[in-house]
Every structure is written in structure tokens, then in C-alpha cells.
Amino acid sequence: MLLAELEELGLEDVELTDYHAVLARLPGTAEGPTLGLVAHVDTTPDVPGGGVTPIVHRAWDGSAIRLPGDERQVLDPAELPELAARVGHDLVTSDGTTLLGADDKAGVAEIMT
């Protein structure tokens, strides 16, 4: 599906690798650095796609976030030090009962348009 669309858009060297990665090249129109765009379309049958309850943690204060749908799941900055850079930012999580996979389709849609 993506291969044909990329070819229709005029991209070159469109291929599906042995690792199921889709690659394509759009030649530049001016001199400058090369830009790579990457997204993924993987999904999982382990968790249903319906019934997703996103939660926005506004101006996150840096404390551990216990997901209310499954309180065993905790986003703890002591275990995830990369979260420290996000204190004061809004964070979006699921409630712990589903995946929150908006990045998959949104990234591919952006690249394809």
C-alpha cells in the first residue's frame, strides 16, 4: 500500500527491506543537507484499539504518575530519568488499560502528505 503511494508521489528507489522497512528517496531541488523522515506503522494485537482514554497531565510537577486504570503501572522519574526534562510540560498518557499509539499513524500521515 505505502510502496504504491510513494511511487505515485514520484519518489525514487522505493523498496521494502527484508526487515519490513519501507524506504524511498525524494531528490532535493537545491544544495543543502540531507533530511530523513522516519515513522512506524507497527501495531499490536495484545491491546484493543478502542476504548482509549488519554489523560493530559498539565504542567507536570515531576512526581511519579500512577495510571488510574492499572495502578501497577507507574511512570517514575527515578526509574525514567529522561522524564526530568519534561517537568512543567504537559504529558499525555493512557489510563493504563490500553496503548496510546497516535504517533504511529500521525507520523506516516505527515510523511505521506
Query: Is the pLDDT score of 107 beyond 90?
Result: no
Task: Give the pLDDT score at 36.
Answer: 87
Query: Is the pLDDT score of 3 beyond 70?
Result: yes
Q: What pLDDT digit, counting tens, does each position of 23-82 carry?
A: 999 988 899 998 888 887 776 676 666 778 899 999 999 999 999 999 999 999 999 999
Task: Give the pLDDT score at 49.
Answer: 66
Query: Is the pLDDT score of 105 beyond 80?
Result: no
First vs last C-alpha separation in the chain: 15
Task: For the chain, give every domain's residue range.
Answer: 47-102
Query: Is the pLDDT score of 17 beyond 70?
Result: yes
**pTM over 0.85, yes/no:** no
Task: Give the pLDDT score at 103.
Answer: 63
Cα separation, 104 vs 91, in Å, equals 17
How large is the average pLDDT for residues 86-105?
85
- CA dihedral 96→97→99→102, nearest 10 degrees, is -80
